[in-house]
Amino acid sequence: MTPTQETQPLWQRGASKKRQECKAKISNAWLVPETLWDSLPHPLESNKVNLIELDVIRRSNVLTEGELDKLSTGEFTAVEVTSAVCKRAAVAGQLSGNLKGPLHGLPISVKDCLHVAGTQETENSCLVDMLLDLGAVMYIKTNVPQTMMTADSENIIFGRTLSPWNTMLTAGGSSGGEEALIALRGSPLGIGTDVAGSIRIPALCCGTYGFKPSASRIPDSKQQRYGSGGIWTIYGSVGPLANDMEALEILTRAVLGANPRPALYDPDVLDIPWRNIGPLNPRLRLGFLLEDPAFPLHPPVRATRQAAASCLKEAGHEIIPLSAEECHIAYALEVVWKLFSFDDSDAASEVVAQGGEPPIASRAVVATLAERLGSRYVPGFKDMTPIERLSTLNMERVKINAAWHALWKKHDLDAVICPPAPNTAVEHDKHGLTAYTSFMNLLDYPACVIPFQKAGKYSDVKMQEGQFVPDYHSAALEGAPCSVQVFTSRLRDEECLAIAKVVDRCLHSDQTS
């Protein structure tokens, strides 16, 4: 150890060691050349660089022209590429042995919180074991934020994940590394986790597809969670991320329909196999959630919502407006964030402090906004004991669940559509609270994010008193991906995917016709 290393804090030495180990695993032939690095404005996170439009993958010369041709022209979709890989594996299997499973030979990336034996872990997460038995190839783990409790994927080891569409903007969190990799076509299919929006917000930020199943449908045991464990107030979900809807269903169907079934891998998973649902009603009744005054939509998000409603109406579906008040958006958000810290402890921050790490900036932003929520819907919260708080919050959850139960029945809804966030990807460390995603975790609803349109030019918008959204800066955010979110009631995961496919085809009919 050099004298300089000896004076470094322990966390800094550990981070440096981990970076060197990861870099050593990349073949020299696969390294991005310095000439390409030097041609880009630095630091990337402070400059508006669209890595996708710059075609940096081709310019790196890591892939051959033959490898790039079909992908770069868009002649093959991700589904067709996946299908081709499976067909090749099928032929090879017939000639040289049996196929291992329905995902035979398919490379799948996984969020860093999932354990993969032989990295820093000694055993696999339950889902990793299952994917391997289904024939998948685990080839890469992807970046997450410190503590995984923020929408900006930054940590002291690998730094910050940037949006491939605009490096000035966040890739989202906490599955930001997965979504950025998928957006750059570095993975055909990925696995993320979601306890407040961690699959869906990065999907929005990176212009990809993401599916949050109902909790415990897909195995999620033996992974690193955001807290210390022992008290689970909101159950997270594990789900797929991809560049198209079909890939989301391929992964979900393969896992839920597997033999042996998921419950034999994970003792905590619900023993509910994949359900083959009948044909959908050709005229769907779709609730459209209107914006909450405390979480107003940025101009491009509002425009995307309106365009989606128009497309679906023209296709013959019924659109039923739902007010934020009857959907209890602000109410649910307050309950969610109080459940995350009902006993005033902050186990995740304690872990950071014990390691001597500096906290990342976005966590402080989220903490400040959560504190500003106050106790509008749960008065007297601070005067309660921890057990009283937990009991009260769970009763509030029951009330919100009952209200939504009545809402589904009153309007006879097939699904509800809303934005994943009031904003697109925003500048680093500026993403606000997860008002339009975390209430689905509270109620354990499955939800799917579908990319649709890009942000155009609009006037700047400043956040007002009593609002919890970042300011809108048109010059920085122009061109950012926009999305819609489709969700159904609890455990109707198969219906959620099927309806999302209908919505996706409708929104992109000009591209698929």
Query: How, if at all, do strands 415-418 and 209-212 pair?
Result: unpaired
Q: Residue 457 class from Cβ within 10 Å (0-12 exposed, 13-18 middle, 19+ buried)? A: exposed
Task: Give the bridge partners for 117, in sequence order.
Answer: 121
Task: Give the bridge partners for 170, in sequence order.
Answer: 162
- Spot the catalytic one: 109, 125, 163, 174: 174
Q: Is 111 one of the catalytic residues?
A: yes
- Spot the catalytic one: 111, 212, 338, 501: 111
Alpha helices in 47-150 (DSSP H): 56-59, 65-72, 78-96, 126-133
- Spot the catalytic one: 175, 198, 214, 216: 198
386-411 and 329-340 helices cross at what angle (nearest 10)?
A: 150
Q: What are the CA-CA distances from residue 422 to residues 185, 298, 432, 463, 470 (Å)?
A: 27, 6, 9, 12, 9
Q: What are the CA-CA distances from residue 157 to residues 25, 31, 241, 315 (Å)?
A: 16, 19, 24, 48
* CB 148 within 8 Å of CB 174: yes
Supply 361's token pair: 């900036």
The alpha carbon of residue 49 and the mean position of all alpha carbons in its chain are separated, in whole angstroms, by 22
Alpha helices in 269-328 (DSSP H): 299-314, 324-327
How many residues belong to the chain?
A: 513
DSSP helix/strand/coil, 192:
strand
**Which residues carry out catalysis?**
111, 174, 198
